[in-house]
Chains A and B, each alone.
Chain A
Amino acid sequence: MDRDRRKLLAGVGVGAVGGIAGCTGTDSPDDSGNATTTATSNSSKKKTPDSDRVVTGSELEEYETVSFTMQSYTKSLLPQRYEWTHLFHDQLVNKLGVEAEVQIGQVGQIFDNWVNVDYDVNMAGWSGKPSRIDPNTFLSAFHTDGGLYTPNYSNPEYDELVEKSQRETDREARKELVMEAQQILAEDVPVVFLFADDALAATNTANWSNYTSQIGDQNYVHVWNLMSMEPQGDLPAIKAGTLFPATLNPMAPTKSADLMGLKMVYDRLVRLGPDGQPQPWAATEWTAPEPDTFDVTLRDDMTWHDGEDVTPEDVTFTIEFLQEWGVPYMKSFYDPIESVEVVDDNVVRFNLESASASFTGVNLALLFILPKHVWDGLPEDEGLEHPKNYNDTQYVGSGPFTVNTFEESNRVVFDVYDDHWADFNVDSFIWKKYGGKTQALATVEKGDASWVVNIQPGQFERAKQNQGVEANGVSQHGWKAIYMNNARRPFDDKMFRKAVAHATDKERVIKLVYGGRADSIEGPIPPANDFWHNPDLPSYDGGEEKARRMLFEAGYRWNEDGTLLMPKE
């Protein structure tokens, strides 16, 4: 049925005249011979199977068609993912003969389905936030119940390794465990690991110099860059982009852009450095007297933007306030904290529910410090249901910037807070929202903005040609994968998943969609994350032949039309 519908769509406009399937040959001399006719507008063609692999007649009774839906996002939201979804779809149809249909949906549906594991196949991706340099997030994502979004994959051996690595505070010993965990994933193929596309950015070097890029998404919205940047004259630092914070209320963040804006105004105890490693910030040092206890020493020269001193009580208050009211987006960062107390003049003790190797690199690096004298009792005084509804226009933080103007969906002007201990060459930082990357890049080229990140390969090549603009492309540690529901047939079969991996031609897609600028991966820790990456994983590049042979050996067959069949349960 699904297939018919697709055909119907594909044949749109044909009317009585005739089908459009099978138009044009794949034997054109232009083609490299690597000719997969990918077809978003044509019915994809299946291969004629070898005769000994075909079942006919009454034998067909024992088999059922392998059919599934592949979910992905709209073109306007994620143009590249939209394209590669269709490319991979066509590869699987062509090479394996599966009956697959692409389902494009709004972020609400598709993302939700991913979180709730309500899919056959879901095209997913993880962005390379600096806090994900620590291997914990990505490894936990495949833990039976410890992680989020696990595709119904469960392997007790793997779970144990991840738990151990999370407790292990010795870096080298932990590395061993992390390597082993990756090995298991590569063997089990819970998802088809695809690639880690490079972070592509352009910076204007005519009007600004000395940028500091951060590992991962190659973000420039961080203190290290704003401290090092040197403008011509008194130009502010200007970010041009399409992401934009929806709120600067520290109790209301719901997306990463919100956190990026908030961290300018609200200090963190620890900030991740350009290399992703935790650096002292509001905390001068931290120690772990026990694996589940952290003592953090606070700087003593910090003040809130309204002039009050920053005290250890502010830190304890913040954690308690967060836990009392709940900020879903930050939940995983404050949840593991069992209690927090002031143990010395300037020392705050965090008692965790269990030992955590990633506490400083993830939790402390993401939690803000809020002023107790502003927020304590505020919801009650203002009659608010939740402090997230507070229309704060003061934005009293202790961070290096204060908010000068916040124009929704347009721009934020941050001014340097003069009493902050950190030094900046710029006087202010402007975050400007553009309608598209094209416009943002044009502004950077013109010298009206300092940088733009996350541009497409075509735009990147263009930026490279430009004088006074530097185009930077670096490998990063976020990644994309074909998520298969391990609890549904035929994805519950490891052999089938492996065959899918073999049939997936990543290199071709990397060339087409990313202009060659992506690392192919076999596990959740890409090469860019040098220390934790396991370079010795098995790769699945057997191609169509191997995939089909594996399927045959595992009991799969084809019908005469070339459609893949699996034995009935």
Chain B
Amino acid sequence: MSARALWKAVLSFGEIGVPVKLYAAAVDRNIHFRLLHKKDRAPVRQVLVEPESGTPLALAEARRAYLTAQKDLVMLTPRELEGIQPKPSRKIELLRFLPPNTIDHRWYLRPYYLGPDSDLAAYRALVASLGRRDSVGLARWVMRNKDYTGVLRLHDGYPLLFTLRYQEEMVSLAQFEAPPGPALDSAELKLAQQLVSMLSSDFDPRTFRDEYRLRLRELIETKRQGGKLRSLRPRRRAGSTDLRSSLRKSVEKIEKSA
């Protein structure tokens, strides 16, 4: 069964356009709760009120304001806000093709698969061309009244468009030096590397499951049938003081069990 497309667009490489459909590649599997009034278990609803008088106000009547660093609220009229909206467009413009690590995955926000729309031949040419080059496309577009930047690349042979965080949202790590201190003890470093190596294997995402989500489902099911629950409390251990002996014991422990 195929998924429903979120949006239709045309990838634009200069003169050439490739019509595509966007599909969410990540899905929300979290368990969501409704907020209820304790007394009658009726769902609560949110309203906007003036805090002093408690007078409710319809969302359509509310205004929007920007809070400055000096803690002034600058009220913006609906017309002014309209004026700074991006212009609607179906075009996803490819700005550049860059070496893959120029924009590292810290910038990536959400992944979308691209599927063909009306022109399968152009889509196949897109997949083939992306596969031929070790570079990723930097794109910019407007979707549902919002500006986006994104990265176009292949994932397992299928085209994927990642939306990006904006530069203003990124904390630049470049200006930080490594935590200073005396040179690391080479014997300890060797032990630490040995321990990492002993515990190494290939990354296989199939081996991980969201156990918490499964337990939460079970809890809901138990409660639905009127069952009782037991409680577990988190705890914290103290930091290790004798680093070298802890590392050595760790290595020995794994060697024994191997």
Q: Say if A and B assemble together.
A: no
